[in-house]
Amino acid sequence: MDRVRSKRTVASRRSRTPRRGKVWGGIDLGGTKIEAVVIDGHGKPIGHARHPTPTQGEPEDVVREMYGALEDAVQTAGLRLTRLGGVGVGAPGAVDANAGTLARVSNVGRGWTAPFPLAGSLSELTRGEVVLGNDVQVAVAAEYRLGAGRPYRSVLGVWWGTGVGGGLVLDGVPWRGRGAAGEIGHMVVKPGGARCGCGRRGCMEAYAGRGNLERDARKAEEKGEKTQLFELMRKKQRTRLTSSIWKKALEEEDALATKLIERAVHMLGVGIASAINLLDVEAVILGGGLGSRLGAKYAGLIHEAMSPHVFMTERQPPVLVAELGELSGAIGAALLVEPDVT
Amino acid sequence: MDRVRSKRTVASRRSRTPRRGKVWGGIDLGGTKIEAVVIDGHGKPIGHARHPTPTQGEPEDVVREMYGALEDAVQTAGLRLTRLGGVGVGAPGAVDANAGTLARVSNVGRGWTAPFPLAGSLSELTRGEVVLGNDVQVAVAAEYRLGAGRPYRSVLGVWWGTGVGGGLVLDGVPWRGRGAAGEIGHMVVKPGGARCGCGRRGCMEAYAGRGNLERDARKAEEKGEKTQLFELMRKKQRTRLTSSIWKKALEEEDALATKLIERAVHMLGVGIASAINLLDVEAVILGGGLGSRLGAKYAGLIHEAMSPHVFMTERQPPVLVAELGELSGAIGAALLVEPDVT
């Protein structure tokens, strides 16, 4: 992704003419839904479709559903699949971009551990190039290029959803370490603290991830604490506490939801401050299901929670809400195959 | 320092012939001592002198002492000052490398807050180029180039001394953020925890910095805990608990010293693991007064403390002891003026 580096100068922006009619596909493979977009030469989504992620079946079944979502997105754009210049995929789990494989995925199909050749398998259906990337990293790259990160060279993306993912762009270049950088959700905010889904204790995600928040809400309700959270869930005919359920409960000043989200905000602030002290980035971008849904008010609260711990007191990076919303992942995925949009 | 990037290929190593007789000066301005070296074209120190850091006086007095140390180093190399190709300085506090100024320094002279033109002031005495850098960052760059970091492209340096400083080299390039990156000592390892010298609570340095360790040791002694630490201090005619005093106390299994250092090691492990989860670097290099003095055994203990929190279980970076020892800062400073040593 070194090509990203040169895309920020005004000169290069002005001199570029988007290739007429050239479009690209992007798929964001999430734990609950598959978002597919078609973007034009400005990175603008001109087609969009959403399919539920299969909760059963083989990896091949997941690939077929991804293909179906892409077909629908292409159709809403009034185009044919053959028009796509390529397809990018942002995926959770362990992505090997060079090999085009995806390993260690849960909540997708029946889940799988061994590397599955996702890029090759999807490419057989699309009959074109397919490039794989990490879901959070591509979303952060999209925000850096086209969204809230535009004014900056170095940003930390914090994707607050079922888990808490992170993505870094340092001096214009996505930083991936040996492939696994950005695990901000597993920064330790309280040694020996709450159990995390990863099996460790005290991770930021143990306090802030929606999965762990739901676990704690259930425990509290079983112990007799009053909450509307599960009532709202039943009303909305959901089986999990979605981001919009949390939002609704907060708006209705549900005591348990407020308490749990306040603790999450506190721990997000602590972990983000630690990351800032280490990296001195210019801005923090808040995305993910909860981040996008709770929006500017909670970005402000996270900033307040982070602020007392930031070492460079006089130069606190802003905490900005992702601007591309729920499509940032799919748009960022499309940028994997065409990073030259202007 | 982008020039560092190209220095790692075998080809460039072999094709380079060090300029005959070319030498450079490096000064490490510390809170207790000024180390000055003269290095040759291989980065090898061929002259060395150590002066105590003035604890009183104006910035100009500090500069004169630095010059004195440099003169002595040049003399031990059997050379004259005019032979130096330039002088680099690694300094604590707020370094503005472009302006050549140093601000917010304590423990040096009477300390100062406003930016002082250190590079210009020293350059009037040396009559040559003077380049300023952050003390820990230059030390880590030296270890990356000439020491324990040689086999790697991306390292995190943890400088464990009076405070806990950090330095990053990412894909061969020192990462300084907006100038203040690397403050690993102020990553939060326990929200609301122990008071740090920076005024905040729960920083890694609050548990691991030698300054805070001494404060806690004094408090414990006042409360009646038995320890040899201060007895050793008096015997060695020191006014502070130096790294060698801590080492001696640990060797003699002093209960308080052991307890405090164990807690420090635990918190270093937690903070370093968080940094690894965020950045996925290849190796950690442990330096600084305590880090170098306590050496491989404690590097091993820090690795043990960090290991349970590292997200990529199967790919744990090693924790290596700095190889250039107490001179890494001065050698790294000299590399500021000649980064092309091979």
Q: Which domains does chain A have, with CATH numbers?
A: 2-140+327-337 (3.30.420.40), 152-323 (3.30.420.40)
Contacts of B313 (CB under 8 A, 6+ apart): none
Q: What angle do CA A298, A154, A318 make, to 5 degrees?
A: 30
pLDDT number for residue B154: 98
CA distance B208 to B193: 13
H or E element in which residue A272 lies? helix A255-279
pLDDT number for residue B32: 83
Across the beta sheet with B173-175, the strand order is: B173-175, B164-170, B155-160, B283-287, B319-321
Of A190, A280, A309, the CB nearest to B200: A309
pLDDT beneath 70, residues of chain A: 1-21, 339-342
Cβ atoms of residues B149 and B283 within 8 Å: yes
Of B179, B278, B315, the CB nearest to A187: B278
Inter-chain residue contact B166 with A281, CB threshold 8 Å: no
pLDDT number for residue B14: 36
pLDDT number for residue A180: 86
Contacts of A109 (CB under 8 A, 6+ apart): A53, A54, A55, A56, A57, A58, A59, A61, A62
Mutate to test the interface with B, among A279, A281, A307, A312 (most CBs of B within 10 A): A279
Q: Nearest-CA residue of chain A relative to B182?
A: A278
pLDDT number for residue B342: 58
Residues of A in contact with B154 (CB under 8 A): 177-178
Residues of B in contact with A182 (CB under 8 A): 278, 280
A52 vs A88, A135, B107, B137, CA distance in Å?
A: 19, 17, 62, 49
Of A166, A175, A183, the CB nearest to B170: A175
CA distance A16 to A331: 20
A306 vs A269, A292, A296, A300, A317, CA distance in Å?
A: 4, 18, 15, 10, 10
Cα R_g (chain A), whole angstroms: 20
Cβ atoms of residues A120 and A129 within 8 Å: no
Q: Nearest-CA residue of chain B relative to A278?
A: B182
> Phi/psi of residue A285, each to 5°?
-115, 125
For tokens 């939801």, the residue is A257
What is the sign of the dihedral through the CA atoms of B309, B310, B316 and B320?
negative
Inter-chain residue contact B181 with A282, CB threshold 8 Å: no
Q: Measure in Å the smallest separation between the Cα of A205 and chain B Cα atoms.
A: 12
Residues of A in contact with B278 (CB under 8 A): 166, 168, 181-184, 187, 275, 278-279
Q: How many CA atoms lie within 13 A of B8 on its CB side?
A: 17
SS3 of residue A326 by DSSP: helix
Q: Measure in Å the smallest separation between the Cα of B6 and chain A Cα atoms.
A: 16
Cβ atoms of residues B295 and B165 within 8 Å: no
Residues of A in contact with B190 (CB under 8 A): 190-191
Q: What angle do CA B248, B290, B334 make, to 5 degrees?
A: 135
Closest CA to B108 of B94, B120, B98, B96: B94
Of A176, A274, A279, the CB nearest to B188: A274
Inter-chain residue contact B279 with A181, CB threshold 8 Å: yes
pLDDT number for residue A267: 98
Closest CA to B306 of B154, B156, B143: B156
H or E element in which residue B243 lies? helix B243-251
> Phi/psi of residue B329, each to 5°?
-65, -45
SS3 of residue A238 by DSSP: coil
pLDDT number for residue B140: 97
Inter-chain residue contact B180 with A311, CB threshold 8 Å: yes
Instruction: Quote the mean pLDDT of chain B.
Output: 91
For tokens 């100009």, the residue is B60
Interface contacts (A, B; CB < 8 Å): 118
What is the sign of the dihedral through the CA atoms of A90, A91, A92 and A95?
negative
Mutate to test the interface with B, among A190, A274, A284 (most CBs of B within 10 A): A274
Residue A306, classified by CB atoms within 10 Å of its CB into exposed (0-12), middle (13-18) or buried (19+), is buried
Say how many C-beta atoms besides its own lie within 10 A of residue B153's C-beta: 17
| Beta bridge partners of residue A325, listed in sequence order | none
Say how many C-beta atoms besides its own lie within 10 A of residue B131's C-beta: 20
Mutate to test the interface with A, among B113, B187, B270 (most CBs of A within 10 A): B187
SS3 of residue B91 by DSSP: strand
pLDDT beneath 50, residues of chain B: 1-20
Inter-chain residue contact A178 with B282, CB threshold 8 Å: yes
Cβ atoms of residues A147 and A129 within 8 Å: no
| Beta bridge partners of residue B166, listed in sequence order | B158
Closest CA to A327 of A83, A64, A73, A109: A73
* pLDDT (tens digit per residue) in B225-270: 999 999 999 999 999 999 999 999 999 999 999 999 999 999 999 9
pLDDT number for residue A338: 79
Contacts of B198 (CB under 8 A, 6+ apart): A311, B186, B205
Q: Nearest-CA residue of chain A relative to B202?
A: A309
Read off the tokens for B100.
Answer: 């050549």
CA distance A238 to A241: 7
With an 8 Å Cβ cutoff, the interface of chain A facing chain B consists of: 154, 166, 168, 170, 175-184, 186-191, 198, 200, 202, 266-267, 270-271, 273-275, 277-282, 308-309, 311-312, 315
CA distance A263 to A40: 41
